[in-house]
């Protein structure tokens, strides 16, 4: 079997990356729709306020990261006395913006 050159490996890598990008652009919007339906993130009637801890769990980040997102106005919040609460729909919007920013929302 002949040896593969570095240039051929780069071409193979580029093809694989292109295929993955196309698949992700197709799958991510469907996944977000699924999340909205499962968690009712976009329905104003069922748009509960959640704690920073629950927001962190949903996003898969630490509570400190959620606090930084709030401090830098990346994630809106509501202050109720000493509690910081976040709308679930704002979590959905954050996820959609991140997907669009990384190219997953385009087709």
Query: Do 86 and 77 meet the contact criterion of CB atoms below 8 Å apart?
Result: yes
Q: Which residue has the higher pLDDT, 40 or 101?
A: 101
Predicted confidence band of residue 107 (pLDDT cuts 50, 70, 90): very low
Strands (E), the chain: 49-51, 78-80, 83-87
Q: Spell out the domains of the chain, with CATH numbers in brackets.
A: 6-101 (1.10.1660)
Query: For 11, how many CA atoms within 13 A lie in the half-sphere containing its CB?
Result: 5
Residue range 57-88, pLDDT digits in tens: 999 999 999 999 999 999 999 988 899 999 98
Residue range 20-30, pLDDT digits in tens: 888 888 788 77
Q: What is the pTM of this model?
A: 0.52
Token pair 């990261």: residue: 65
Residue in 24, 31, 41, 33 with CA at minimum distance from that of residue 92? 41
């Amino acid at each position: 079997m002949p040896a593969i050159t570095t240039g051929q490996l780069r071409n193979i890598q580029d093809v694989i990356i292109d295929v993955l990008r196309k698949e992700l652009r197709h799958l991510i919007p469907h996944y977000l729709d699924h999340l909205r339906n499962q968690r009712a993130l976009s329905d104003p009637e069922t748009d509960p306020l959640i704690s920073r801890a629950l927001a962190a769990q949903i996003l898969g980040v630490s509570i400190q990261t959620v606090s930084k997102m709030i401090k830098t106005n990346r994630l809106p919040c509501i202050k109720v006395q000493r509690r910081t609460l976040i709308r679930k729909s704002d979590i959905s919007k954050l996820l959609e913006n991140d997907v669009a920013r990384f190219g997953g929302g385009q087709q």
